Amino acid sequence: MGSLAATLLLAMISLTVALDNGLLKTPPMGWMAWERFRCSIDCKDDPKNCIGEDLFRDMADRLAEDGWKELGYEYVIIDDCWMSMLRDEEGRLQPEPSRFPGGIPKLARYIHDRGLKLGIYADMGTRTCMGFPGTTLDKIEIDAQTFASWGVDYLKFDGCNSNPVQQMLGYPLMSKALNATGRPIAYSCSWPVYVGGLPTNVNYSFMGDICHLWRNYYDIQDSWDSLLSIIEWFSNNQDDLQPAAGPGRWNDPDMLIIGNFGLSVDQARTQMALWAIMAAPLIMSNDLRNLDNSARAILQNKVAIGINQDPMGIQGRRLLQEKSHIEVYWRPLSHSASALVFLSRRTDMPYRYRNSLAKLNYDTGNYKAYDVFTGSTVKVLNATTEFTISINPSGVVMWYVYTEQQSKQMETLHYQQKKVSQFTLHKAKPGHHTVL
């Protein structure tokens, strides 16, 4: 399709589509199956890891009972491989009955009864990425109506086995179809990643009109290398990506892998810190039934979550790349506060990094800094005063920076964070991993 025709098509569709149902004014939080459980469908021999209704009930129970829901983790999201290989006689998608014997509506009621929300997966193509029935253009309306009738609250719409023209038509049409159901459904689009993730192939202003969030880049894997490649891509392209984000419209660097097998404690803190800076969705993909205390403390860190959920919704940026392989990230927050993350890309030993707030573009004055992961408050900093911090290899130091006038508010936050830490240690079950 020529560029003029594509522009005219988008203009025509945009006249009929506007996804403004008031959802996701802050980034969504919850749990998703894919990265940890993939397409495990052997419920007979591996029932604990099988993509079936028991897995999602278990995760809903953990979110509701272990302090997650109160912190904002509210979505339980089914990914690929939930479907039967055949649509029903009326052309509707249906779950595989041996793995979802109660059907999706019953699972939705179970999740809703616990004060949580249900997410589901579909694919804008002939088949899903794992070969299950896709949603072709002629099936978009019936699939949207089906999801709404089941009580679905969130749709992840993938793009395997489709071409750019089908994607250009299908993603806006699904937005329109979801709106037409009358049910408020959060809409996650994978469109950008299938066309390179960047302008001019992606019109992010238009994306924000039709989707609540979108996948920009490749799937995350359970490794430091994968995590680092995502951080680097988003940082290298922040001038194109950062302006696209805001309340109701979010860049999505993919799931939180904290609590699995591939990250150290320091690397897990790095993901939580950078996802907070990037105003990214906090969608965990791990086994909440077997989560160790370190992972739980990171994922339930009240101040990191508060930074991520800041109502201004401004995505942060990388400010500096030092020759010492230290990088500095910054995000403006409500009430004239801000967040700073100092990331070590080093692999040798803890590094003593020196800088000042003035050199990081802070105005003249006195500030305090709350260390998000140690819970300590840095002494009063004059903007021009040089500070020194020690950053572990592949780790971070994360600060919530505020003025002296905000000290009382931070004392309250500090107290609440201590209470959360005590709660999680009390509720935590011993994990079977030696790393996060």
Of 162-166, 358-362, 411-415, minimum mean pLDDT range:
411-415
Catalytic residue among 61, 219, 240, 371: 219
Q: Report whether 263 contacts 36 (CB < 8 A).
A: no
φ, ψ at 203 (rounded to 5°): -95, 95
In angstroms, the first-to-last Cα distance of the chain is 46
How many CB atoms sit inside 10 A of residue 251's CB?
26
Phi, psi of 112 (to 5 degrees): -65, -35
79, 158, 209, 254: which one is catalytic?
158
pLDDT at 379: 81
Mean pLDDT across 88-98: 98
* 317-423 belongs to CATH 3.90.960.10: no
- Helices of type H across 116-190: 140-150, 164-181
Cβ-based neighbours of 389, under 8 Å, separated by 6 or more? 342, 352, 353, 397
For residue 142, the model assigns a pLDDT of: 98
Asked if pLDDT for residue 404 goes beyond 90, the answer is no
pLDDT at position 406 = 72
Higher-pLDDT residue of 18 and 411 is 411
Task: Return the half-sphere exposure (C-beta side, CA atoms, 13 A cut-off) of residue 380.
Answer: 8
For 54, the token pair is: 């028991």
Tell me whether residue 432 is exposed, middle or buried, using C-beta atoms within 10 angstroms of its C-beta: 0 to 12, 13 to 18, 19 or more: exposed
- CA-to-CA distance for 44 and 268, rounded, in angstroms? 33
In tens, the pLDDT along 130-158 reads 999 999 999 999 999 999 999 999 999 99
Q: What is the pTM of this model?
A: 0.92
Across 4-10, average pLDDT: 54
Lowest mean per-residue pLDDT among 173-187, 200-214, 355-369, 408-422: 408-422
Residue ranges per structural domain of the chain: 3-308, 317-423
Is the pLDDT score of 395 beyond 90? yes
Amino acid at 16: T
Residue 411 clears pLDDT 80, i.e. is over it = no
| Length reported for the chain | 436
pLDDT band per the 50, 70, 90 thresholds, residue 421: low
- List b or e across 303-315, with b for residues whose CB sees 16 or more CB atoms inside 10 angstroms: bbbbbbbbeebbb
CA distance 28 to 6: 31
Going by C-alpha positions, the residue among 178, 171, 176 that lies closest to residue 192 is 171
pLDDT exceeds cutoff 50 at 121: yes
What pLDDT does residue 13 have?
55
pLDDT for 19 equals 74
pLDDT for the residue 433: 30
What pLDDT is attached to residue 268?
99
CATH code, 3-308: 3.20.20.70
How far apart, in whole angstroms, are the C-alpha atoms of residue 334 and residue 69? 23
Report the SS3 class of residue 132: coil
| Calpha distance 118→15 (Å, rounded) | 30
Query: Could you tell me the two tokens for 414?
Result: 């500090």
Q: Is 219 a catalytic residue?
A: yes
CB atoms within 10 A of CB 421: 17
Q: What three-state secondary structure class fits 187?
A: strand
The answer to whether residue 266 is catalytic is no
CB 346 within 8 A of CB 58: no
Q: Count the Cβ atoms, other than its own, within 10 Å of residue 136.
A: 17
